[in-house]
Structure 1
């Protein structure tokens, strides 16, 4: 009997260890702190765990695994399985998705931002380029149009931007440069210090980031309607890690993306509703740029920068024009469907 029970115990332990070994844990590299920008990743982790009975978990780290500018490198070498990054941090590594950071694309809301992002992510040239870094594009982190907070007197005219030191990356940086500003690409986590020290006069962010990284606390004014564009920040997974998932795990992950995005959009919508109250509470003046000044900004920054980007991409053998056309067609299709 003792021998039989010993066998049963051994078998039970073996099954327990086997079950534990079969559990899948992924490390996820984000930065900063939990905020509107990361809510879809948090929701994804929750849904994946629920659907797999806890057998597939996403362990989310805010800065503990990598610096934000090095997340794509970490994915490339398999240092972690999932990460978020922004195209403007290293445009040479993800040239094709910088199409989504071109100024004045005309994206009107977060739903349209999701649509154009995922359309571009689905293009074969984009997928091939990210595959060079062992990265599979999973979902976007949709952000509204960027606007700037600043110190000192409000900058209400294009002429006021001359010499303005602005934290702006990617296509946004090029847009401000086109009107005489001096862009710098310090990371989001460095923006407050850069503003506090006077390294920059202004910072271009979406609303959540002005809150999360404290730049709103340094500001005396905010542009309500400049809307020059936004940055594009995908969530990617390591291809080998994705391919090693079981069918059930992969289904749990893939099927959770729409709900994670919906959760993100609902959460961000609540933040936007409160934005005017935040400005009033902190004594930040809302600056409305005149339509004439906005048109002058577009004339200098939209078409010339877009044409230069297309020529640059085509010169490197990438479908620049095709990607811009895809964005425009996706916007038309999205609006027609609504």
Structure 2
């Protein structure tokens, strides 16, 4: 009897070990709080768990694993398996994808942002550069064109940007600098305090971030149509962790990405539809910049910054012109052009 029980116990223990070995648990490092910007990460975690009956789980951590500017470093050393980061936080570490942060790039909507981002992510130069950090990009975090909020009188003339201290990263910061602005790249989580304390005069964000980080609560006005560009924030996975996934779990992860992006786009679309009512509720003036002012801004900032970026990338051995051309070709294809 003892022998029979022992045999059953051993068999049960063996099954337990097999079950444990088959289970996969990942940690994903993001920041702030759950918001439109993180909905695809949340949806991806939901999908992989559902499709594997809980055998593959992704725990999404809001700041508990790393600071925003250190997420790529955490991926490199395997501190967590998945992370979100923004290219403007450390342009020297992700030079190739900064093509997506060039000002006045011509992207009109979130669908186009997804298309151009994923096309660039698939470029061999991008994959090689990300591999240096043991990172594989799996999806973008598409955001609409940034616009600024501020206090006092609206800054609706180009001369008003001269000396303006603006929270803006990456190519956006360069664009404002080109017209006399003074950009600073404080993390999104510190933007409200920077604005409230007077460290910055204005903050450039997409709509969801103005809401999530409270800058809209301290604002008197918001520029509705300045649209100088946006930032690019990929979601990456640790290559070693990705390659170590059981084949069925890797397939579930890969096949869930488009669903997660679709969920993100639908959710963000709802936020954009409600934006005017948010402005009314908070008493924020919607400022329309004159077309001539926008064109002057574009002429001053877009062409010189783009040409300098291409030259800088080429000097560093990266295919700058090829990456920029890829963006423009993808936009034409997305719009059904030839």
Q: Per-residue deviation at 1:337?
A: 7.0
- Partner in structure 2 of residue 29 of structure 1: 29
Q: Per-residue deviation at 1:10?
A: 2.7
- Partner in structure 1 of residue 75 of structure 2: 75
Q: Per-residue deviation at 1:79?
A: 0.5
Q: Secondary structure at the match of 1:49?
A: helix
Distance (whole Å) between structure 1 residues aligned to residue 214 and residue 150 of structure 2: 12
Distance (whole Å) between structure 1 residues aligned to residue 235 and residue 259 of structure 2: 15
- Partner in structure 1 of residue 140 of structure 2: 140
- Partner in structure 2 of residue 16 of structure 1: 16
Q: Which moved more, 1:19-28 or 1:193-202?
A: 19-28
Q: Per-residue deviation at 1:7?
A: 1.7
Q: Secondary structure at the match of 2:274?
A: helix
Confirm or deny that 1:149 pairs with 2:149: yes
Q: Secondary structure at the match of 2:149?
A: strand
Deviating 4+ runs (over 4 angstroms): none
1:304-315 matched pairs, under 5 angstroms: 304-315=304-315
Q: Per-residue deviation at 1:206?
A: 0.2
- CA root-mean-square deviation: 1.0
Q: Secondary structure at the match of 1:336?
A: coil
Q: Per-residue deviation at 1:11?
A: 1.3
Cα deviations by residue, 1:16-48 (Å, 9 ceiling, x for unpaired): 233123211011000000000000000000111
Cα deviations by residue, 1:65-120 (Å, 9 ceiling, x for unpaired): 00000000000011100000000000000000000000000100000000000000
Structure 2: unaligned runs, 5 residues or longer: none
- Partner in structure 2 of residue 165 of structure 1: 165
- Partner in structure 2 of residue 87 of structure 1: 87
Confirm or deny that 1:221 pairs with 2:234: no
Cα deviations by residue, 1:109-143 (Å, 9 ceiling, x for unpaired): 00000000000000000100010000001000000
- Partner in structure 1 of residue 120 of structure 2: 120
Structure 1: unaligned runs, 5 residues or longer: none
1:188-203 matched pairs, under 5 angstroms: 188-203=188-203
Distance (whole Å) between structure 1 residues aligned to residue 326 and residue 286 of structure 2: 34
Distance (whole Å) between structure 1 residues aligned to residue 130 and residue 261 of structure 2: 21
